[in-house]
Structure 1
Amino acid sequence: MFWRKGYEATSLDDLTEATHLSRSSFYAAFGSKRELLLHAYRRYANAFYADMKTLADEHEDTDTALRAVVKALVDARPDDRGCFCVNAIVELAPSDPELAELGRDHIQRMCTLLEQLITRRGTRRPLARALAATLMTLTMGSAVFRKASVAEGTLKSVQRQALGLLGLA
């Protein structure tokens, strides 16, 4: 529900209906709407990172691994829901310090994964760190574009440009 409607637009009735719980059972299980969101965010972020790490580890060739990860980051959600993490960060980070911290942690973890791949290519760490942050900015922006139903051709162009930064286009 949070992913589809956003946090503010999701009512307690939406959540109890989706979970098939009474209000009292919902509060007993999750504590609050916000606690459920934080739990969902952590779970999604951990699973997403694990998927990207697995994808990177599947390829011995670093360039192939980078191509696969960047493509997966741009194509992560091929529908108009966008990325759950990006959606939550955009909606709530300005007013929720804990969610903002979770967002920074997720971004940092993803940047570190990209940085490790980039340094395996022989790129020095300061440049690898900057390239990783740039790639994350582009791929997270593509999630916002996807949420706004921007044309697929534009998203493919973003992917090519991101790979072009690495000389992989």
Structure 2
Amino acid sequence: MLDKAVQLFWKQGYEKTSMQDLVDFMGIHRRSIYDTFGDKHALYMKALKRYESTQNKKLRLLVERQEPVKELIRRFLESSIEKDGEPQGCFIVNSGVELGVLDPEVASLVEDSYSNTEKMLYHLVQTGQQRGELRASLEPEAISHYLMNAWLGLRTMVKTATEQRKLTSVIHTILNTLD
């Protein structure tokens, strides 16, 4: 049931999703939504946390693979442009853009999510340097900031880019900065 709320909020955003939309899409009574999740904002926050948890799990599984670091970074970036029948873009990024300056609770969750992702990127860069896969002259903190910014850009760009080749070219350029 919560996964349906994730899908609807991700697709439409917070403001464009009414309680009636949630009732219709989730297939439950309005009273059940209130009894189970609380108000619309509480349901939104639970949906956002569910999405964030799922994304973190995917990232952890990716990072744990025993592959060259540059390949892991490639897969990480490519995960932004794979559709898999999901709404376009990223629910976390969309939420930050829509509500980040208006809602401190959303802003905090988004910032924590970004921080966790950046730490993972920092770790990947350091690992790549220790293995001799990435240049030792790269500054891990600066590169993790850069990769995070590039990833967020891709997660935003995918909402409007109609050419897959363009997105793939951006990823190729990002990866070339690591050579």
TM-score, reference length from structure 1? 0.88
- When the two chains are superposed, the root-mean-square deviation of aligned CA atoms in Å is 2.1
Kindly tell me: are residues 80 and 145 of structure 1, through their superposed partners in 2, closer, same or farther at Cα, counting changes over 3 Å? farther
Aligned to 1:84: 91
Is the CA contact 1:77–1:143 (under 8 Å) kept in the aligned structure 2? Answer: no
TM-score (norm 2): 0.84
Partner of 2:73: 66
Q: Does 1:148 align with 2:160?
A: yes
Equivalent residue runs for 1:41-60 within 5 Å: 41-60=48-67
Residues 12-161 of structure 1 mapped to structure 2, 5 A cutoff: 12-72=19-79, 74-77=80-83, 81-122=88-129, 127-161=139-173
Q: Which has the higher helix share?
A: 1
SS at match of 2:158: helix
Q: Number of aligned residue pairs: give it.
A: 166
CA distance in 2, matches of 1:18, 1:39: 16
* CA deviation string 1:98-139 (max 9, x = no partner): 101100100111111111010012267x92122112111111
- Percent identity over the alignment is 29
- Give the drift of 1:153: 2.1
**Unaligned residue ranges in structure 1 (runs of 5+):** none
